Amino acid sequence: MSLDRLIKRIDAMHNPSVVGLDPKLEYVPQFLQDAFFEKEGYTLEAAANAILAYNKALIDALCDIVPAIKPQAAYYEMYGWPGMRTLVETIRYAREKGMFVITDGKRNDIGATMTAYAAAHLGSVSIGDTKVEPFGADALTVNGYLGTDGIQPLLEICEKQDKGIFVLAKTSNPSSGEIQDRKIGKKPVYEVMGDMCEDWGSAHIGAYGYSSVGAVVGATYPEQLADLRKKLPHTMFLVPGYGAQGGGAQGVSGAFDANRRGAVINSSRAILCAWKKEPNCPETEFAQAVRREAIRMRDDITAYLHR
Amino acid sequence: MSLDRLIKRIDAMHNPSVVGLDPKLEYVPQFLQDAFFEKEGYTLEAAANAILAYNKALIDALCDIVPAIKPQAAYYEMYGWPGMRTLVETIRYAREKGMFVITDGKRNDIGATMTAYAAAHLGSVSIGDTKVEPFGADALTVNGYLGTDGIQPLLEICEKQDKGIFVLAKTSNPSSGEIQDRKIGKKPVYEVMGDMCEDWGSAHIGAYGYSSVGAVVGATYPEQLADLRKKLPHTMFLVPGYGAQGGGAQGVSGAFDANRRGAVINSSRAILCAWKKEPNCPETEFAQAVRREAIRMRDDITAYLHR
């Protein structure tokens, strides 16, 4: 079961965190941008190549202490098809370094189309007799608004190819409650979605008690997070919103079970931009600053869990 | 207002339909596939280039009779970054031929990330002093599960750059009701989402009474479609599910207002694969068969509207 692979890495590194690789061009140090602009002009290709170099340096600096990365598809699409090539190359590089890769795409559609998304991001496509992995991630975030037949094609790939998904339940943004907190009967929509995650995952439970179907639950709503942890015993949580969005170690502690498992906490901007915030950090040392911030985050979260 | 541009084209062509360009490789005639495989091997690039050639032939055959195309992002992502390059080139070609392009991506995320998606699909990005359109569509489908702050960045681009969005309300798939039909108070979730579309669009209403915020409502649920038409007077509908999914002309007629406006009906597979179904159609004449099926669909829908 795919999320077992993630949990194993978390256990081995004593670090339940994932670094969100959401590389806006302005996060990339100027010297690195300039190197590509001088060669390739002010083009999407140059921007995408600068981002790839930045990502690789970050992966090198993080792969022995952080179990997983979560590239956000939007920040690659923003640089067009060269950006998508950078996404492919980033995923490949991180997996070569042993990292677990969660593509944050929040994809959703009808069954036939989800079969295409599942093949694109987690599976492979056949071209003649050749099988190719278009993006090749270990897990994908998805939106469950369309119900079971939009999830089914993913479950098949999770089973056959040892992959995972994380379904949006309660998102970290300020207006998430507009739909997600509204009550269906006695339950808020996010809990109905959480119940569906338990259901979808019920035939796919791994060695740690968690299925290959996880849920996205924001660090910015610690009460709902702790409440869902109790109600969804087989659903691992991907928790965004720690760091730049305001979530803290105390807030996310409720995402974990009694064995300190069951959640992986994401931070993106606070880690990617660490080199901008650290006093007197030369921009050439961006990767070391990123590593220091990732260690600080790990220690912040684990210290709280081991009180 | 962007959807005014779409409505104008629909009026001019007397055709409220959109062709879904969802080109699985097996929809492309073998002779066209082989031409690229011989040159480029069994690669993602060859597959993506074969699809681009197929798309261009379809656009040539349709651009004087069909107002819009709707490329489905999943079927391009399935062929990796070369597939995304085919998406860019397909959009560019269709727009050069005067067609309105709706990218069907069902994108959704928190505000900061939706700013990136909005720039990617509808807007532009700055690289140094250069502005580039990464994908450059006229409209994008989105999922509103995250609420207003995930929609706001799109509204800004709709306003400034004359673009539009279509938000999922009631989707065409069999299990759409699992979440969308559940009641929040007295209203089903899809109607709450529809009300939000009216609200989001209220400051962006164009000359025909429709805003730049449309909704996706499936042809496979004709009662809900007719009901929502009455309740959402400023929200244009993008209606999938006609044709291969089972929706018919009578079913979609309820999507239109008294002026026979307010909806655009999509068909994908039934049109793209017309050349496979037409008796004795040589595969070299695929584009003509596609054109005949598009005309049949137009006449089917408009005949019903003008009874």
Q: At what angle do helices A189-201 and A222-231 cross, to 10 degrees?
A: 40
**Residue A160 in 3-state DSSP?**
helix
How far apart CA B305 and CA B307 sit, in angstroms, is: 6
What is the least distance, in Å, from the CA of B163 to any CA of chain A? 17
C-alpha torsion A102→A107→A109→A111, nearest 10: -10
Which amino acid makes up residue A225? L
Contact between A3 and A139 (Cβ < 8 Å): yes
A113: nearest CB among B25, B74, B85:
B74
Chain A partners of B25 at a C-beta cutoff of 8 Å? 125, 127
What ipTM score was computed for the predicted complex, to two decimals? 0.97
- Tokens 């055959």 locate to B61
Predicted confidence at residue B90, as pLDDT, reads 98
Do residue B44 and residue A132 have CB atoms under 8 angstroms apart? yes
What is the least distance, in Å, from the CA of A14 to any CA of chain B? 29
Instruction: Give alpha helix (H) positions in B63-151.
Output: 73-77, 80-96, 111-121
**Residue A64 in 3-state DSSP?**
coil
Q: Which helix or strand (DSSP H or E) is residue B80 part of?
A: helix B80-96
Nearest CA in chain A to B89: A81
Global pTM reads 0.97
**Residue A255 in 3-state DSSP?**
coil
What is the set of active-site residues of A? 106
How far apart CA A177 and CA A191 sit, in angstroms, is: 12
Do residue B134 and residue A88 have CB atoms under 8 angstroms apart? no
Nearest CA in chain A to B120: A78
- The DSSP 8-state label assigned to residue A148 in this structure reads G
The three-point CA angle B290-B142-A124 to 5° equals: 65
Per-residue pLDDT of chain B (307 residues; tens, 9 = 90+): 679 999 999 999 999 999 999 999 999 999 999 999 999 999 999 999 999 999 999 999 999 999 999 999 999 999 999 999 999 999 999 999 999 999 999 999 999 999 999 999 999 999 999 999 999 999 999 999 999 999 999 999 999 999 999 999 999 999 999 999 999 999 999 999 999 999 999 999 999 999 999 999 999 999 999 999 999 999 999 999 898 777 788 899 999 999 999 999 999 999 999 999 999 999 999 999 999 999 999 999 999 988 7
A42: nearest CB among B77, B129, B172:
B129
